Amino acid sequence: MKLENIISSLPGYTKSILSALNSAGYEAYLVGGAVRDLLLGLTPDDYDITTNAHPEQVLALCQKYNWQTVDKLGHNFGCVIIVINGIPTEVTTFRGERYGDSDMHRPEATWYCTRLRDDLSRRDFTVNAMALAADGTLYDYFGGQQDLENKILRTVGKAEQRYHEDALRMLRACRFVAQLGFTYVQDGSAALPPFGQQSTPYYLPHNYCFPIERISGLSLERVRKEIERLLLSKHAGHGLMLMMATGILGCSCRVRDRGQDTSVPLLPEAAHLVGLPQNPRFHLYDTWEHTLLAIDNSPRELAIRWALVLHDLGKGLPNIRRLNKEGQPSDPGHEAESAVMAKAILTRLRYPRDFVQLVVWLVAQHMRFAPMLWTKERTLLRWVRSEATSAGFKNEQELAQAYELLVEVFLADMGATHARENPQLMADGRELGRQVTELARTKMPVCTKDLAISGRELLSLIPQTKIKDTLAYLLERVQSGNLPNTSVELLQAVTKHLKRYQQEKELPS
């Protein structure tokens, strides 16, 4: 898009703020992620503004125009949040920062500065360090526009120093690679080779230098947020590859528990997957490449993405790996091992218990479809019934949702193997997925509340004391697949059951 067109496409509230500042004699620019996204033809999530006006001068303008401001964060580092029509815009005074050794994220000093260039130079990546004025002039001192064109992510200034100042930038680098699909380049180094090729080496080129030991000073909350944003991105596989290649996945961050700092490892358990061979009868890639490809194949949903990150962790472990009759590697039971590891990992990353349970279930179950696909033997009902009765799902809806996610995990996993070259097999997989979700959604109540009849409706037929047992009896029959879950059928079944019960009572003993 041309710069003039970009300016005219800006939301009214952004234009108003820029124009108010300019009319009062201040410099004001759109800056950071908004400029990057607009130049890429994307719609920014938010529009940040940078100005040489000081916060009290910005606040005075807000008063004049009757704009609301948010106070709490407002004065932090010269940032005023202006709210127009319910939409907040951060207006930040040009500032400089100095970092020390002790804090691995926050600057030890910040001050206002007068030149736009100085403010832009403190920003992390060239593509995030451009400013756009209301007259359409683009200020790009560090080659951001060229890097956008070449799809390159590069720090402003020396990477190692910028990461040493603020360790979070290393995670942001991986996240932006995942979001933008750009190649990470450091200080003129060769780019990492494209992933997804059998020969892809996962090594760290010599001149990549990430001071990863400083990640230990970052809080789990910040790190997890970056990892989640990465995982939910279109090119998550690329981002994870960079996390692995730089050693970030093997690092620990910190969490504060009852006043004490605890070190929390991110994902060192994945290291052995890099280069780990798999049975070439099914697989095109090593286990880590397969994992990355499966992730990129899958819908952008956190439980699915985490399940895929973790689904093959058990592969290659000494207690799992075997050589089959043809002398090829195989990992029987890896899904159970991966599930145990997944539970430990997600729990230490402080995910809520329900989320952990769901992801662990997805990991544990991800191999269940494959045998049915190969043998064509349909054991879906037995399987879904056993999950409905023993896997701890609260109700039918929860079970159905879990199966919907599992189907996505299964298809993404399958699509990252030789099966991707076999459209019939992929279609069979999708059909199997359709059948299982339909079964879970419509034919597999988990508890008596899921039945199409309530205890109250049965009161006219049977005494209160028998209601619970009767519902349990109906539930078991529906789950076994020999009674449809409709009120008519359930009522009939109760009537029949009652009759038989009466007859049995009347039989002479």
The stretches of 415-463 forming alpha helices (DSSP H) are 423-442, 455-458
Which is nearer to ligand ATP, 123 or 164 (by Cβ)? Answer: 123
**Nearest approach, Cβ of residue 256 and ligand ATP (Å):** 21
Q: Which long-range contacts (CB under 8 A, 24 or more apart) does 114-118 make?
A: 114/52, 116/27, 116/29, 116/50, 116/52, 117/141, 118/94
Q: What is the largest CA-CA distance in the chain?
A: 104
Q: Which stretch binds Mg ion (CB under 5 A): 27-35, 170-178, 221-229, 286-294?
A: 27-35
Which is nearer to Mg ion, 34 or 192 (by Cβ)? Answer: 34
Q: Which stretch binds Mg ion (CB under 5 A): 26-34, 161-169, 398-406, 436-444?
A: 26-34
Q: Name which of ligand ATP, Mg ion, none residue 123 binds, using a CB cut-off of 5 to 8 Å depending on partner kind.
A: ligand ATP
Single-letter amino acid code for the residue at 82: I
Q: Name which of ligand ATP, Mg ion, none residue 101 binds, using a CB cut-off of 5 to 8 Å depending on partner kind.
A: none
C-alpha span between 475 and 482 (Å, rounded) = 11
**Nearest approach, Cβ of residue 19 and Mg ion (Å):** 22
Residue nearest to ligand ATP (CB): 33
C-alpha span between 253 and 226 (Å, rounded) = 13
Which is nearer to ligand ATP, 32 or 433 (by Cβ)? Answer: 32
Which is nearer to ligand ATP, 167 or 388 (by Cβ)? Answer: 167
C-alpha span between 303 and 401 (Å, rounded) = 11
Helix or strand holding residue 131 (H, E): strand 131-133
**Nearest approach, Cβ of residue 34 and Mg ion (Å):** 7
Provide the total of helices (H) and of strands (E) in the chain, helices listed first: 21, 15
Rounded to 5°, the CA angle 444-447-451 comes to 65
**Nearest approach, Cβ of residue 7 and ligand ATP (Å):** 19
Residue ranges in 470-499 that form contacts with Mg ion under rule CB under 5 A:
none
| 33 contributes a contact to Mg ion by CB under 5 A | yes
**Nearest approach, Cβ of residue 114 and ligand ATP (Å):** 19
- The 10 Å CB-count burial string (b at 16+, else e) for 197-225 is eeebebeeeeebbbbbebbebbbbeebbe
Contacts of 335 (CB under 8 A, 6+ apart): 311, 314, 363, 364, 365, 366, 367
**Nearest approach, Cβ of residue 31 and ligand ATP (Å):** 7
**Could you tell me how many residues of this chain bind Mg ion (CB under 5 A)?**
1
- Residues near ligand ATP, by CB under 6 A: 32-33, 45, 48, 123-124, 128-129, 166, 168-169
Backbone angles phi, psi at 307, to 5 degrees: -60, -40
**Nearest approach, Cβ of residue 271 and Mg ion (Å):** 32
Q: Name which of Mg ion, ligand ATP, none residue 168 binds, using a CB cut-off of 5 to 8 Å depending on partner kind.
A: ligand ATP
Q: Name which of Mg ion, ligand ATP, none residue 305 binds, using a CB cut-off of 5 to 8 Å depending on partner kind.
A: none
Instruction: Tell me which residues touch Mg ion (CB under 5 A).
Output: 33
